[in-house]
Amino acid sequence: MLPKPLYETLPYGYVLAGVLAIVGIEPIFGKVCGILLIVIGLFVYQARMRYRHRKQRIVAYGGARHPGLKRTDKHGEPLSRTRTPAQQDFYRGEENYAEGNYAEARQWYRQAAEEGNISAQVNLGVMCVAGQGGPLDYQEALYWYGRAADQGDAVAQFNLGAMYVEGQGVARNFEEAMRWYRKAADQSHAPAQFSLGILYEQTPGTIHLQEALQWYRKAADQGYAPAQVNLGVLYAEGRGARQNFQEALRWYQAAATSGYAPAQFNLGVMYLEGQQGIPADRAIAYVWFTRAAGQGDADAQPIQQELAAQLTAEQKAQVAEML
């Protein structure tokens, strides 16, 4: 296996050698060789990008809904008699939202939100961001998220951070986003911990990478699959921590066994290429690419098809037992 620095610069070396050959060698044969070197370099570059471990990005900008009210208590008794008026209005909003009556849901959420119901304030903000049941209105979403966030609601704090990342209704401001994400992350809100990790990873400096790794781990320990994938990538690339393919494998497997396609793709990459302490195994790689492709992963599908044509009869029998 090539050392990582050489492996990463290999395609650029091919292209540079090709350009030098075209410019510096007069015989036509030399120029043809130069063109071939450039083609090889581009092929290697595309293959490297194709088989690079996939990393997850921030999702659900400003759109995380608040959990709804339970219909019954722990004894199975209806809760309708014990709900406050604000809770009753919120629950009517929930019922209408579930039925797709968004305009009606938005009205009930607004009534409950004005009565101080935090869940309604969050869900009304979500509808304003999405333009459901009425006009898209970032300013109103910011207002309701702010009301709930100031009362310590983690979902609202996460949504506010997301809006600052995306620049929805406000100027894009990563420092402000990190401030709100941290408030939610400190309450063990896994998506906020994951998003905070991404912002730290995108900030230059080894210390920030180490901080990113810690936040990814907090979310990963809660079973949050996107964080498990990104944590695995940091270990695979040796960023923020010493390179450790076994640790990367462990986190990819944790996410993959929960059915998360990006983790399944990354496992396929690890077994296709082989890593330190992890021998290449085309049969296992094919299984993971197949599982990712079965969930519609567009990158996994062509690799799966290529591997299918390369498997031996013995490997095909092994695959049949695993799938």
Tens digit of each residue's pLDDT (9 = 90 or more) over 109-119:
999 999 999 99
Alpha carbon distance 323, 315 (integer Å): 12
Phi, psi of 78 (to 5 degrees): -60, 145
Across 207-218, average pLDDT: 95
> pLDDT category, 323, cuts 50, 70, 90?
confident
Q: Identify which has the larger pLDDT, 26 or 105.
A: 105
Q: What pTM does this model have?
A: 0.79
Task: Report, as an integer, the average pLDDT of 84-101.
Answer: 93
Taking only the tens place, the pLDDT of each residue in 153-201 is: 999 999 999 999 999 999 999 999 999 999 999 999 999 999 999 999 9
What does the pLDDT average to over 227-243? 94
Report the pLDDT value the prediction gives residue 44, as an integer from 0 to 100: 45
Q: For 297-315, what is the mean pLDDT?
A: 89
Rounded to whole angstroms, the Cα distance separating 193 from 189 reads 6
Q: Of the given ranges (69-83, 110-124, 147-161), which has the lowest mean pLDDT?
A: 69-83
Quote the pLDDT of residue 66.
82
Residue linked to tokens 């620049």: 167
C-alpha–C-alpha distance, residues 118 and 98, integer Å: 19
pLDDT at 276: 84
pLDDT score of 6? 43
Which pLDDT score is estimated for 25?
65
Residues 6+ apart with CB under 8 A from 67: 119
The whole-number average pLDDT for the span 297-321 is 89
| Mean pLDDT taken over the chain | 84
Q: Span 234-243, mean pLDDT?
A: 93
Split at pLDDT 50, 70, 90, the class of 92 is very high
Largest CA distance in the chain: 92
Per-residue pLDDT band at 3 (split at 50, 70, 90)? very low
Q: What is the pLDDT of residue 299?
A: 87
DSSP character at residue 131: T
292 burial type by CB count under 10 A (0-12 exposed, 13-18 middle, 19+ buried): buried
157 or 274, greater pLDDT: 157
**Statement: residue 139 has pLDDT above 90:** yes
Mean pLDDT across 67-94: 70
Interhelix angle 118-130/102-114, rounded to 10 degrees, is 140
Q: Are 59 and 190 in contact (CB under 8 A)?
A: no
What is the reported pLDDT for 71?
54
Instruction: State the average pLDDT over residues 206-219.
Output: 95
Joined together, the tokens standing for residue 143 give 């207002």
Does the pLDDT at position 31 exceed 80? no
The answer to whether 240 touches 214, Cβ cutoff 8 Å, is no
